[in-house]
Structures are given as C-alpha cells and as structure tokens.
C-alpha cells in the first residue's frame, strides 16, 4: 500500500509525536510531520518508489530507524487530510457518510430481505441505550485508553444513529446525540 501506515509503541509521557522519513538513513532531506496525536500515521500523498527510513520521537531521542519499501506496483491509498475529509461530508443534516438517497433503500431492506439483520442491529442499539449517562466516560485513563473508549463510544453512536435514521424513533436519535456530546465533553 502506498503510502504505508506507520505504527509505533506508545510513550506514556507523550502528548504528541514527531515523525520523520527519508530515502537515506542519515535523514538528510527528511519529511517531518509534527503534532501527531496517536501512535500511527498515514500520509496524504503517495510516495515515490524506493526504500525509505523512518523514525519517531515524542520527548528526548529519536527512535531507532526502521525502513519500508514502496514497490512499483503498490496500490495508492493516501489518507485524506482533515480538510479533504470535511469537504466530502454533506452540508445538510443529518451529516452522513452515505448519500441521502440511500436512506429509502435502507428502510426497504429493514422491512424486507434485510429484516433479520436490522433486528440484530436494533437489538444491539437497544443494549447500547443502556450506557450509563451518569458515569464519567473518562476516569483516569491514559491516551491509548481514551482513544479506545472514544472509538467504542463512536461505534455505538453510529449504530444507534443508523437505527434512528431507519426508524425515525427519537429515543435512538437522542441517545446518539447524547453519546456524541459525551465524547466531546
């Protein structure tokens, strides 16, 4: 895959990371990406064919260099920048990562050939409605645990919101909204 996703071990003291890569192991002419909040990074543009060396740091010294190779036949899959991602989100509400014209098809499926799958999804949403709103979502977690908790909450909100979209039942819409607000708090 071009560019590859670069992943490294967490530094418990880190607030962010700095990543460098270059086509030589002395890192002259290196590309430097700063303020990476997580332990992974995928660049927003494909890289030229060849071997690259990369390293990362948060505080103190750079990690030992690692390497990767971009073959000539690598499939290009750059990560969209935040601005590019934002451009793809519809401006009207609800903001979905699916086209609004797909909603009618989803509703048909939920009543017809996809009823069993939708019932399973609705049961999961009903279980997720039981999330305790009074419980603080982030007691004293480290950054990785917070990321995992946010990811879990986001997946639950997504499932609940989809059930709301199909049924129109406010209990699902309100719950998805509550979860998203908790995530932002």
Contact 32, 22 (CB under 8 A): no
For residues 94 and 66, membership in a common domain is answered with: no
For residues 48 and 98, membership in a common domain is answered with: no
Residue 75 forms part of a structural domain: no
DSSP assignment of 70-124? E-TTPPB-PPPPHHHHHHHS-SSSS--SS-TTHHHHHHHHHHTTTHHHHHHHHHH
For residues 48 and 108, membership in a common domain is answered with: no
Q: Supply the pLDDT for residue 45.
A: 94
For residues 175 and 108, membership in a common domain is answered with: yes
In terms of C-beta density within 10 A (0-12 exposed, 13-18 middle, 19 or more buried), how is residue 96 classed?
A: middle
For residues 16 and 58, membership in a common domain is answered with: yes
Total domains present in the chain: 2
For residues 63 and 99, membership in a common domain is answered with: no
Q: Supply the pLDDT for residue 29.
A: 94
**What is the CATH number for 42?**
2.60.40.10
For residues 52 and 138, membership in a common domain is answered with: no
Q: Supply the pLDDT for residue 5.
A: 93
In which domain, by residue range, is 22 found? 5-70
Residue 39 forms part of a structural domain: yes
For residues 64 and 101, membership in a common domain is answered with: no
Q: Supply the pLDDT for residue 82.
A: 79
For residues 54 and 113, membership in a common domain is answered with: no
For residues 58 and 141, membership in a common domain is answered with: no
Q: Which regions of the chain are under pLDDT 70?
A: 89-90, 92-99, 131-142, 185
User: Residue 80 corresponds to which tokens in the numbers above?
Assistant: 């969209």
Using a CB cutoff of 8 Å and minimum separation of 24, what contacts does 7-14 make? 7/39, 7/40, 8/39, 8/40, 8/56, 8/63, 9/39, 10/39, 10/142, 10/143, 10/144, 11/58, 11/59, 12/142, 13/58, 13/59, 14/58, 14/59, 14/143
Q: Supply the pLDDT for residue 87.
A: 79
**List of residues 6+ apart from 102 with CB closer than 8 A:** none
Q: Whole-prediction pTM value?
A: 0.52
User: Residue 72 corresponds to which tokens in the numbers above?
Assistant: 């000539």
Domain boundary among 40, 70, 100: 70
**List of residues 6+ apart from 152 with CB closer than 8 A:** none
**List of residues 6+ apart from 111 with CB closer than 8 A:** none
For residues 59 and 131, membership in a common domain is answered with: no
Q: Supply the pLDDT for residue 142.
A: 67
């Amino acid at each position: 895959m071009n560019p590859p996703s670069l992943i490294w071990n967490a530094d418990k003291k880190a607030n962010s990371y700095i990543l460098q890569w270059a086509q030589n192991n002395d890192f002259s002419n290196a590309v430097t990406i700063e303020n990476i909040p997580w332990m992974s990074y995928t660049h927003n543009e494909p890289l030229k064919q060849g071997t690259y060396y990369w390293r990362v740091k948060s505080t103190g010294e750079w990690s030992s260099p690692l390497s990767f190779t971009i073959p000539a036949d690598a499939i290009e899959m750059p990560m969209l920048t935040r601005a590019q991602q934002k451009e793809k989100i519809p401006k009207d509400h609800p903001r979905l990562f699916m086209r609004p014209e797909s909603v009618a098809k989803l509703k048909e499926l939920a009543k017809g050939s996809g009823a069993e799958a939708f019932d399973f999804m609705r049961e999961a949403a009903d279980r997720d409605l039981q999330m305790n709103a009074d419980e603080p979502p982030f007691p004293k977690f480290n950054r990785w645990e917070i990321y995992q908790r946010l990811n879990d909450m986001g997946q639950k909100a997504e499932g609940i919101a989809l059930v709301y979209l199909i049924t129109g039942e406010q209990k699902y819409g309100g719950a998805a909204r509550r979860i998203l607000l908790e995530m932002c708090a």
